[in-house]
A and B are shown apart, each in its own frame.
Chain A
């Protein structure tokens, strides 16, 4: 017998979320809820599918946590990233690389007691505060790189794969040129060349400068370092798209051989409809998983670049920077490597689990099997009553 579907608390929550959202949209568009019943049903089943997969839930939890910390981290941090306690204490030699849990009195700062729950770094700053502030840097960088680099790669890959022939040759040879260099080397070269121009641009456009500072939650004092930070982002976008162009092209080539794409052409659909409505949704699964893997990848690469003196420079809080700086004091000051490393790992893991879960959720087959079980158990429930 088919396993009975019992609604869990999460499922009930899903019901509430979807119906709530429906009512909310109906406030602005009258009758939306009544017209889009089937759409809401799909959403509900998607959430049910999510609820049935613990790894995906864990992933979702970690990702939401990362996003929240990314947004509110700089406010949550007890101490600003550019606050150096060693300047305010007599025991300044001990406050550097202090182990987790140690406490110090800031003699020249109203005798405030500072605790280091996760230890302090080689400047004597609170590691926990740094990690919280650093979340913003990683979050913003990974979002920008992925949201600009990936669509570019997907677009070029789709066009190359769908049209084939000369268009394909042209796009893929350019892609190959980019892929021929190791990504890190290319990024290094670019981030070494670009900063000055970007810095000039930023210095002359105050609004842009303010916006970027706000984006990274940085002090005005860091304005001179923005060029380097943005150069790294630009460099990473440039090295990030070719991989996506390759995967997308490959999947497009297999997908366009399928009969339904030929059928779509045979009913006279224009190329862009076929590409974006029929090929892309059918190949997005693996790409989505790849994207989620890459969120971790971007953070790691950015960390690597800052180690080489490119990108975020101290005192800007940056996870990768902390790990690489801390590596010199390993294993004595293990916390400098361990905690930021753990955070990077958890974020990467979270994105991965979520991506894997998404693949199942987006598959209509999963949804239908759940719908079947829900209906069945509802009927049985009525019969029993």
Chain B
């Protein structure tokens, strides 16, 4: 039985905007097991990023975590609800036990500080080093471990002097600086060109093995998922529609949305005339569709789909789906 490190229960985040309440994610629940790579997949605006940020209360006004629990199992066996921690306590978790790698490396480094300083600062704030100066010295080793050539000189560089791939390595370096237990990578390769993407994914995998960390990978790229993830959660319009192992999701997709997603990806093994698109667009989350949120776009929708919200059901071992078809 795999041991959970993070248990998310009924996580709900709303954004109180002038246009109305945006129900960004509704009652999202999933488990992440120690040492695995867990992927959150879905199209733009489905709430993947909001989910990942809500885990450590990184939701900013006008957004608010309305309800839910995020149970974090610490190394020593104690369990804490991350959403109940105050600002001071959650700060100790952020960057220390749960670290983030953001989507756009060009924007996630402060342009006014050298990369060494920024790594040093991340270590200093959690007391891993006495001073930022000492941290800058340690940063050399960190840059070396994220495979940056000539780290002694790169430490002194400002972000704009590095290429996109290098910057993303630095961002990963900041992420692993404190040897975190969970690494949340929010679309780490989206802003990079294809040749670098594979390197970055490799690097994240290597580091995960080296530091025995758990990775939560957020992406809309199913190719990335197939390559790196152990288990996958598919999100649609702020809800999780299917959870399973990579094997289960790719070989035996159950939810009509998952099926549609997979059909929309080109497969080099089979020759087809055109890719199938899922008709329609992501619904407006201020007034989400009643019942199953996918029903307006679903080819198999029935009356019950409009009325009743489907719950996650376990179809086979570890394979959950929220659909009235089953």
Are B102 and A270 interface neighbours, CB within 8 A?
A: no
**With A263-B102, A266-B58 in contact, is A278–B110 under 8 Å at CB?**
yes
Contacts of A281 in B (CB 8 A): 112
**With A259-B107, A262-B58, A267-B122 in contact, is A364–B160 under 8 Å at CB?**
yes
Q: Please encode chain A, from 327 to 365, with 1 for each CB lying within 8 Å of some chain B CB and 0 for all others.
A: 000000000000000000000000000000000000011
CA distance A263 to B111 in the complex (A): 13
Contacts of B94 in A (CB 8 A): 265-268
Instruction: Judge whether B199 is part of the interface by a CB distance below 8 angstroms.
Output: no
Nearest to A265 among chain B residues (CB) is B58
Chain A interface residue count, Cβ-Cβ cutoff 8 angstroms: 22
Are B112 and A364 interface neighbours, CB within 8 A?
A: yes
Are A259 and B103 interface neighbours, CB within 8 A?
A: yes
CA distance A260 to B158 in the complex (A): 14
Nearest to A258 among chain B residues (CB) is B107
Are A282 and B58 interface neighbours, CB within 8 A?
A: no
Q: Which of B53, B110, B111, B121 lies at the interface centre, i.e. has the most chain A CB atoms within 10 A of its CB?
A: B110
CA distance A265 to B95 in the complex (A): 9
How far apart are B269's CB and chain A's nearest CB, in angstroms?
Answer: 37
Are A263 and B125 interface neighbours, CB within 8 A?
A: no
Contacts of A270 in B (CB 8 A): 91, 125
Instruction: Judge whether B104 is part of the interface by a CB distance below 8 angstroms.
Output: yes
Count of inter-chain pairs, beta carbons less than 8 A:
72
Nearest to A41 among chain B residues (CB) is B156
Q: Which of A263, A267, A282 lies at the interface centre, i.e. has the most chain B CB atoms within 10 A of its CB?
A: A267
In A4-38, the 8 Å CB interface with B consists of: 38
Are B95 and A267 interface neighbours, CB within 8 A?
A: yes
Contacts of B92 in A (CB 8 A): 268
Instruction: Judge whether A273 is part of the interface by a CB distance below 8 angstroms.
Output: yes
Instruction: Judge whether B161 is part of the interface by a CB distance below 8 angstroms.
Output: yes
Instruction: Judge whether A368 is part of the interface by a CB distance below 8 angstroms.
Output: yes
Instruction: Judge whether B73 is part of the interface by a CB distance below 8 angstroms.
Output: no
How far apart are A268's CB and chain B's nearest CB, in angstroms?
Answer: 4
Instruction: Judge whether A165 is part of the interface by a CB distance below 8 angstroms.
Output: yes
Instruction: Judge whether B96 is part of the interface by a CB distance below 8 angstroms.
Output: yes
Q: Which of A263, A278, A282, A364 lies at the interface centre, i.e. has the most chain B CB atoms within 10 A of its CB?
A: A263
Q: Please encode chain A, from 154 to 193, with 1 for each CB lying within 8 Å of some chain B CB and 0 for all others.
A: 0000000000110000000000000000000000000000
CA distance A265 to B107 in the complex (A): 14
Nearest to B178 among chain A residues (CB) is A267
CA distance A282 to B109 in the complex (A): 12
Nearest to B56 among chain A residues (CB) is A266
Contacts of A308 in B (CB 8 A): none
CA distance A294 to B101 in the complex (A): 42
How far apart are B51's CB and chain A's nearest CB, in angstroms?
Answer: 14
Are B99 and A260 interface neighbours, CB within 8 A?
A: no
CA distance A270 to B91 in the complex (A): 7
Q: Which of B53, B122, B161, B171 contacts A368 (CB 8 A)?
A: B161
Are B107 and A260 interface neighbours, CB within 8 A?
A: yes
CA distance A264 to B91 in the complex (A): 11
Nearest to A365 among chain B residues (CB) is B160
How far apart are B116's CB and chain A's nearest CB, in angstroms?
Answer: 10
Are B112 and A38 interface neighbours, CB within 8 A?
A: no
CA distance A265 to B91 in the complex (A): 8
Instruction: Judge whether B44 is part of the interface by a CB distance below 8 angstroms.
Output: no
How far apart are A25's CB and chain B's nearest CB, in angstroms?
Answer: 17
In A248-307, the 8 Å CB interface with B consists of: 258-260, 262-270, 273, 278, 281-282
Instruction: Judge whether B317 is part of the interface by a CB distance below 8 angstroms.
Output: no
Are B108 and A259 interface neighbours, CB within 8 A?
A: yes
**With A282-B112, A364-B112, A365-B160 in contact, is A266–B125 under 8 Å at CB?**
no
**The 8 nearest A-B residue pairs measured at CB:** A267-B95, A268-B94, A259-B107, A268-B95, A266-B100, A263-B108, A259-B108, A267-B122
Q: Which residues of B contact A (CB under 8 A)?
A: 53, 56, 58, 60-61, 91-96, 99-100, 102-104, 107-112, 121-122, 125-126, 156, 158, 160-161, 171, 174
Can you list 11 A-B contacts with CB-CB less than 8 angstroms, sorted by A residue number? A259-B102, A259-B103, A260-B110, A263-B171, A266-B99, A267-B125, A267-B174, A268-B92, A268-B122, A268-B125, A269-B125
Given A263-B102, A268-B91, A268-B125, output 14 extra A-B contacts at Cβ < 8 Å: A258-B107, A260-B109, A260-B111, A266-B58, A266-B94, A266-B100, A267-B99, A267-B100, A268-B93, A268-B126, A269-B125, A273-B125, A364-B111, A368-B160
Q: Which residues of A contact B (CB under 8 A)?
A: 38, 164-165, 258-260, 262-270, 273, 278, 281-282, 364-365, 368
